[in-house]
Amino acid sequence: MTTTAPPTTSPPQQDGRLAGNALGLPSVLFCIVTGAAPLTAMLFNVPVAVNGGGWAAPAAFGMATVALTIFSVGYIAMSRRVTSAGGFYTFVSRGLGRVVGVGSGLLIALCYMIFAGAVIGVMGYFAASTVETFTGVALPAWLYMALGLAVMSTLAWFHIELTAKVLGVMLVGEVVALIVLAVAIFAQGGAEGFSASPFDPTQVFSNSGALQIFGTTAAGIALFAAFWSWVGFEMAPNYAEESRDPHRIASIATYGSVIGLGIFYMIVSYAFVTGWGLTGSVQAVSDQLNGTYASAFYPLSDRFVGGWLTAVLEVLAVTSSFACAMAFYNTAARYLFALGREGVLPRVLSRTTRHHGPGTAAMTTTTLVGLYVLGFVLYDPSTEAALTKLGTWSPLLGVLGILAVQALVCVAIVRYFLTTARDGFHVVSTLLAPVVGCAAIVGACYLLIDNRAELAAAEGVPFITLLPWVPALIFVAGVVVALVLRARRPAVYAGLGHFSLTDPELDAPEEVVA
């Protein structure tokens, strides 16, 4: 009697499902933290925070850490109940209904694409300037932008583990470089010794250093720069379907990224202030804004470590921005995948590759991001514009949209646990935490809108003037799509926002939309 050996090939591809058990905790953390881009956040957002709140920038980062940690309490409570690549879209659909959920899903997907395009612009600028510095070869930023997008698309087509490994290597490099700089500054006592004043929250609002150098203080700019530095921390649920232990990993990864990044940001921003001295740090930022040097961090690395670290930071500015763009690209693709799987967008977006990645959604993301970037290049093809226009204007739009959806998520969490999941209701984690988190996020949205012209350095530019209306229009477009589905395809509408690995009756993609 003969027996047939079991097949050694991988199981056939199943559209509508991502690769399960592909990511462990370190990989998910790499995907999340690289989206926050620690090096890029410090090189650009610390000077912005100092520009607004003087040498109290570390206090601004501390305030943001507290606010986002509070938000995360309710967010994690809901992620334990809902496991899906839909992330915010799924959460809002469960808590506030399908119509609001689809509006949020479309908005957040486009915001992540806008962010990917913006950071590709930053990468192109630094790649062009760094290559020219080291080799003397001057190539346009758009060439590096096209190359970066091509590499992202290639990585996205293959297994998510490959992407996570690439992001992990880049993340370790930038974190180590900043730690080396901070340790060197602290070991040598900085410019004037140590002071506790930079951690005083009251100094964010009336900082004597900012008043002396800039003639005014702008707490709104300081706090917004701090909140800006965490964009991407909420990505953990988007990788839930590909995680080995989604509930545990989502919780640890979210708390770890929020609190870990917060501590890291406070240490590095304090090192910046200590290295220059209190008033000196504000003057250094003023000099940077006037074009004396590309970054106020570079003279610090020259002085306290050596020119070799400055060169490393210049290279890592390129790799950090690439890793950041790749993380946003991945999340945007997973939102398109989720919206396609449920019939909100064309079902073809839920097709996966033989590596079980969201292949069609990823290539669609490539196309849309490429067109968005092309629009800015046609508007101004200069290398400087890649940073000052694409890399500066676009994040304001992306952050506003993401913060607005985060506020809706807070409301959705409260309603979800008051209605659908009353057995999980807890006064602190599912009521007080989301309410406080929502208030902080709404405040950040106001600060962005009120200070958008100063943040973009573009007074009277239509893109900036009309910026608050764009997320609203995208949200309304999503609402219209949901209403049309409800009227014309009620069976599809009934399954919107309800695909989850924790819902056995909705586990199969075909059943979700049947």
Rg, C-alpha atoms of the chain: 23
Query: Which domains, ranges and CATH numbers included, belong to the chain?
Result: 25-513 (1.20.1740.10)
Say how far apart CA 218 and CA 225 lie, in whole Å: 11
Spell out the residues 6+ positions from residue 470 whose beta carbon is closer than 8 angstroms to its own. 397, 401
Residue 350 is predicted with a pLDDT of: 83
The gap between the terminal CA atoms of the chain, to the nearest Å, is: 45
Q: Report how far Cα 361 is from the mean position of its chain's Cα atoms.
A: 19
Is the pTM value of this prediction over 0.75?
yes
Say how far apart CA 101 and CA 113 lie, in whole Å: 18
DSSP string across 176-196? HHHHHHHHHHHHTTTTT---S
Count other C-beta atoms under 10 Å from residue 4's C-beta: 5
User: CB of 456 within 8 A of CB of 393?
Assistant: yes
Say how far apart CA 401 and CA 371 lie, in whole Å: 20
Residue tagged 């209605």 (tokens):
419
Give me 153's structure tokens: 């698309």
Instruction: For the chain, list residues with pLDDT below 70.
Output: 1-36, 83-86, 158-168, 232, 234-250, 355-356, 498-514
Angstrom CA distances, 142 to 55, 127, 365, 385, stand at: 36, 10, 18, 10
For the chain, helix, strand, coil in percent to 5 are: 75, 0, 25
Q: Report how far Cα 334 is from the mean position of its chain's Cα atoms.
A: 14
Residue 450 is predicted with a pLDDT of: 85
- The pairs formed by 282-285 with CB atoms below 8 angstroms and a separation of 24 or more are 282/50, 282/54, 282/55, 282/207, 282/209, 282/210, 282/212, 282/213, 282/214, 283/213, 285/47, 285/50, 285/51
Give the model confidence (pLDDT) of 442-473 as tens digits.
988 888 888 888 878 787 889 999 999 999 99
CA-nearest of 498, 404, 483 to 448 is: 404
Say how far apart CA 436 and CA 130 lie, in whole Å: 43
Say how far apart CA 211 and CA 183 lie, in whole Å: 30
DSSP string across 416-443? HHHTTTGGG--TIIIIIHHHHHHHHHHH
For residue 405, the one-letter residue type is V
User: CB of 395 within 8 A of CB of 383?
Assistant: no
3-state secondary structure of 5: coil
User: CB of 159 within 8 A of CB of 357?
Assistant: yes
Residue 28 is predicted with a pLDDT of: 60
Say how far apart CA 17 and CA 443 lie, in whole Å: 38
Handedness of CA 430, 340, 102, 395 (dihedral sign): positive
- The pairs formed by 460-467 with CB atoms below 8 angstroms and a separation of 24 or more are 461/393, 463/393, 463/397, 464/393, 464/396, 467/396, 467/397, 467/400
Count other C-beta atoms under 10 Å from residue 354's C-beta: 12
User: CB of 240 within 8 A of CB of 246?
Assistant: yes
Spell out the residues 6+ positions from residue 3 whose beta carbon is closer than 8 angstroms to its own. none
